[in-house]
A and B are shown apart, each in its own frame.
Chain A
Amino acid sequence: MGFIHPYDRPNSYIGRTLPRSRAKRAVAGRGRYTDDITPPRTLHAAFVRSPYAHAKILNIDVEAAKDASGVKLVMTGSELAEMCTGPWVGTLKVFENMKAEPQHPMAVDRVCWHGEPVVMVIAETRAQAEDAGELVVVEYEELPVVINKETALDPGSPVIHANLGDNKAWEHTLGSGDVDKAFEEADHVLEETFYFGRHTAVSLEPRIVLCEYDKGTEQLTIHTSSQCPHMIETVFAQTLGVPEHNVRIVAPDVGGSFGLKIHTFGDEIAATAAAIQLGRPVKFVADRLESFLSDIHARENRVKAKIGIMNDGTMIAAEIDDLSGVGAYSQYPRTSVFEANQILNISFGPYKHPNYRARAQVVYLNAVPTSQYRAVGHPIGISVGEFMMDWAADVTGLDPFEIRRKNIMEDDSYPRPIGSGIPMKDLSHQACLEKLYGLMAYEDLLSEQTELRKKGIYRGIGVAGFIKGTAPSPVGYYGAGGARIAAQDATTVKLEPSGGVIVALGVTDQGQGVDTVMEQIAAAAIGCSMDHVRAISGDTDATPYGGGTYASRATAIGGEATYQAALDLRREILHMAGILLQADPNELDIVDGHVVNDGSNEPRIPLSEIGRIGHFQLGELPNNYQPVLSHTRRYRLQDSPYIYTNGIHGAYVEVDVDTGWIRHLKHWVVEDCGRIINQQLADEQIRGGCVQGLGGALYEHCIYDDYGQLQNGTMADYVTPMMSEMPDIEIDHIQTPTSESELGAKGAGESGTGAAPGVVMNAVNNAIKPLTDGRVTEQPITPEIVLGALGKI
Chain B
Amino acid sequence: MKAPKFSYVRADSVEHALELLDKHGDDARILAGGQSLMPTLNMRLSQPEILIDINRLNELKGISLDGDTVVIGALTRHVEVLNSDIVSAHLPLVTEAMPYVAHVAIRNRGTIGGSIALSDPAAEMPACALALGATLVVQNSGGKREIPAEQFFHGLYETARAENELLVEIRFPSQKKDNVSVFMELSRRHGDYAIAGICAYGKVTGETIDDMRLVYFASEDRPVIGEHAIAALNGHAWSEETKDAVSAALENDLDPMANLNGSAAMKLHLQKVLTGRAMDTAVSRAGGTL
Q: Which of A126, A134, A784 sits near B263, CB closer than 8 Å?
A: A784
A793 and B189 within 8 A (CB): no
**Hey, which chain A residues are within 8 Å of B3, CB to CB?**
127
A486 part of interface (Cβ distance < 8 Å): no
Q: How far is the CA of A721 from the CA of B192 in the complex (A)?
A: 12
A130 and B188 within 8 A (CB): no
B186 part of interface (Cβ distance < 8 Å): yes
A784 and B262 within 8 A (CB): yes
B191 and A724 within 8 A (CB): yes
A787 and B269 within 8 A (CB): yes
**Hey, which chain A residues are within 8 Å of B145, CB to CB?**
none
A659 and B189 within 8 A (CB): no
**Hey, which chain B residues are within 8 Å of A290, CB to CB?**
1
A661 and B269 within 8 A (CB): no
Q: Which of B2, B189, B273 sits near A719, CB closer than 8 Å?
A: B189
Q: Which of A287, A703, A782 sits near B1, CB closer than 8 Å?
A: A287
B44 part of interface (Cβ distance < 8 Å): yes
A311 part of interface (Cβ distance < 8 Å): no
A699 and B263 within 8 A (CB): no
Q: How far is the CA of A703 from the CA of B193 in the complex (A)?
A: 18
**Hey, which chain A residues are within 8 Å of B189, CB to CB?**
699, 719, 721-722, 724-725
**Hey, which chain A residues are within 8 Å of B5, CB to CB?**
131
A661 and B266 within 8 A (CB): no
B260 and A661 within 8 A (CB): no
A658 and B273 within 8 A (CB): yes
Q: Which residue of B lies closest to A721 (CB)?
A: B189
Q: How far is the CA of A711 from the CA of B258 in the complex (A)?
A: 13
A783 part of interface (Cβ distance < 8 Å): yes
| Shortest CB distance A208–B (Å) | 13
Q: Which of B1, B4, B186 sits near A659, CB closer than 8 Å?
A: B186
B248 part of interface (Cβ distance < 8 Å): no
Chain A positions 646 through 658: 1 when the CB is less than 8 Å from some CB of chain B, otherwise 0: 0000000000001
B260 and A712 within 8 A (CB): yes
Q: How far is the CA of A287 from the CA of B1 in the complex (A)?
A: 6
- Which parts of B238-271 form the interface with A (CB within 8 Å)? 260, 262-263, 265-266, 269-270
Q: Which residue of B lies closest to A291 (CB)?
A: B1
**Of B1, B3, B193, which is in contact with the most chain A CB atoms at under 10 Å from its CB?**
B1
A722 and B269 within 8 A (CB): no
B190 and A725 within 8 A (CB): yes
A25 part of interface (Cβ distance < 8 Å): no
A699 and B188 within 8 A (CB): yes
- Which parts of B95-115 form the interface with A (CB within 8 Å)? none
A717 part of interface (Cβ distance < 8 Å): yes
Contacts A699-B188, A719-B189, A722-B190; is A783 near B2 (CB within 8 Å)?
A: no
In which size bucket is the chain B interface?
20 to 34
B262 and A127 within 8 A (CB): no
A37 part of interface (Cβ distance < 8 Å): no
Chain A positions 703 through 732: 1 when the CB is less than 8 Å from some CB of chain B, otherwise 0: 100000001101011010110110000000
**Of B188, B190, B273, which is in contact with the most chain A CB atoms at under 10 Å from its CB?**
B188
B263 and A793 within 8 A (CB): yes
A792 and B2 within 8 A (CB): no
Q: How far is the CA of A469 from the CA of B270 in the complex (A)?
A: 42
Q: How far is the CA of A414 from the CA of B195 in the complex (A)?
A: 51
Q: How far is the CA of A664 from the CA of B4 in the complex (A)?
A: 42
Q: How far is the CA of A793 from the CA of B262 in the complex (A)?
A: 11
Chain A positions 214 through 227: 1 when the CB is less than 8 Å from some CB of chain B, otherwise 0: 00000000000000
Chain B positions 98 through 141: 1 when the CB is less than 8 Å from some CB of chain A, otherwise 0: 00000000000000000000000000000000000000000000
A288 and B1 within 8 A (CB): yes
**Of B43, B190, B270, which is in contact with the most chain A CB atoms at under 10 Å from its CB?**
B270
B191 and A659 within 8 A (CB): no
B269 and A782 within 8 A (CB): no
Q: How far is the CA of A127 from the CA of B3 in the complex (A)?
A: 7
A126 and B262 within 8 A (CB): no
A289 part of interface (Cβ distance < 8 Å): yes
A717 and B273 within 8 A (CB): no
A717 and B260 within 8 A (CB): yes
Q: Which of A660, A703, A724 sits near B190, CB closer than 8 Å?
A: A724
- Which parts of B1-21 form the interface with A (CB within 8 Å)? 1-5
| Shortest CB distance A154–B (Å) | 27
Chain A positions 771 through 793: 1 when the CB is less than 8 Å from some CB of chain B, otherwise 0: 00000000000111001000011
**Hey, which chain A residues are within 8 Å of B262, CB to CB?**
782-784
| Shortest CB distance A461–B (Å) | 23
B44 and A659 within 8 A (CB): no
- Which parts of A119-139 form the interface with B (CB within 8 Å)? 125-127, 130-131, 134
**Hey, which chain B residues are within 8 Å of A699, CB to CB?**
188-189
B266 and A784 within 8 A (CB): yes
Q: Which residue of A lies closest to B272 (CB)?
A: A658
Chain A positions 348 through 385: 1 when the CB is less than 8 Å from some CB of chain B, otherwise 0: 00000000000000000000000000000000000000
Q: How far is the CA of A325 from the CA of B174 in the complex (A)?
A: 57
A793 and B1 within 8 A (CB): no
**Hey, which chain B residues are within 8 Å of A787, CB to CB?**
266, 269
Contacts A661-B186, A719-B189, A724-B190; is A793 near B2 (CB within 8 Å)?
A: no
| Shortest CB distance B189–A (Å) | 5
Q: How far is the CA of A719 from the CA of B39 in the complex (A)?
A: 17
- Which parts of A750-769 form the interface with B (CB within 8 Å)? none
Q: How far is the CA of A127 from the CA of B1 in the complex (A)?
A: 8
Chain A positions 579 through 599: 1 when the CB is less than 8 Å from some CB of chain B, otherwise 0: 000000000000000000000
Contacts A659-B270, A719-B189, A722-B189; is A793 near B265 (CB within 8 Å)?
A: yes
Q: Which of B44, B191, B193, B269 sits near A130, CB closer than 8 Å?
A: B44
A126 and B190 within 8 A (CB): no
**Hey, which chain A residues are within 8 Å of B193, CB to CB?**
716
Q: Which residue of B lies closest to A699 (CB)?
A: B188
B269 and A793 within 8 A (CB): yes
**Hey, which chain B residues are within 8 Å of A130, CB to CB?**
1-2, 4, 44
| Shortest CB distance A773–B (Å) | 20
**Hey, which chain A residues are within 8 Å of B2, CB to CB?**
125-127, 130
Q: Which residue of A lies closest to B269 (CB)?
A: A793
Q: Which of A288, A719, A792, A793 sits near B188, CB closer than 8 Å?
A: A719
Chain A positions 432 through 462: 1 when the CB is less than 8 Å from some CB of chain B, otherwise 0: 0000000000000000000000000000000
Q: Which residue of B lies closest to A69 (CB)?
A: B5
Chain B positions 169 through 193: 1 when the CB is less than 8 Å from some CB of chain A, otherwise 0: 0000000000000000010111111
Q: Which residue of B lies closest to A206 (CB)?
A: B1
**Hey, which chain B residues are within 8 Å of A289, CB to CB?**
1, 43
B4 and A131 within 8 A (CB): yes
| Shortest CB distance A721–B (Å) | 8
| Shortest CB distance B110–A (Å) | 14
| Shortest CB distance B272–A (Å) | 9
Q: Which residue of A lies closest to B190 (CB)?
A: A724
**Hey, which chain A residues are within 8 Å of B192, CB to CB?**
716, 719
**Of A659, A661, A714, which is in contact with the most chain B CB atoms at under 10 Å from its CB?**
A659
Q: How far is the CA of A784 from the CA of B268 in the complex (A)?
A: 12
**Hey, which chain B residues are within 8 Å of A661, CB to CB?**
186
Q: How far is the CA of A765 from the CA of B270 in the complex (A)?
A: 21
Q: How far is the CA of A787 from the CA of B195 in the complex (A)?
A: 15
Q: How far is the CA of A289 from the CA of B43 in the complex (A)?
A: 8
A792 and B1 within 8 A (CB): no
Q: Which residue of B lies closest to A44 (CB)?
A: B2
B186 and A792 within 8 A (CB): no
The 27 listed contacts between A and B (C-beta, < 8 Å) are A127-B2, A130-B4, A134-B4, A287-B1, A289-B1, A290-B1, A658-B273, A659-B270, A660-B266, A661-B186, A699-B189, A712-B260, A714-B43, A716-B39, A716-B192, A717-B260, A719-B188, A719-B192, A722-B190, A722-B191, A724-B189, A724-B190, A784-B262, A784-B266, A787-B266, A792-B269, A793-B266
User: What 3 pairs between A and B have smallest CB-CB spacing?
Assistant: A287-B1, A724-B190, A127-B2
6 new A-B pairs (CB below 8 Å) besides A719-B192, A722-B190? A131-B5, A134-B4, A658-B273, A659-B273, A712-B260, A719-B188
Which residue numbers of A lie inside 8 Å of B, CB to CB?
Answer: 125-127, 130-131, 134, 287-290, 658-661, 699, 703, 711-712, 714, 716-717, 719, 721-722, 724-725, 782-784, 787, 792-793
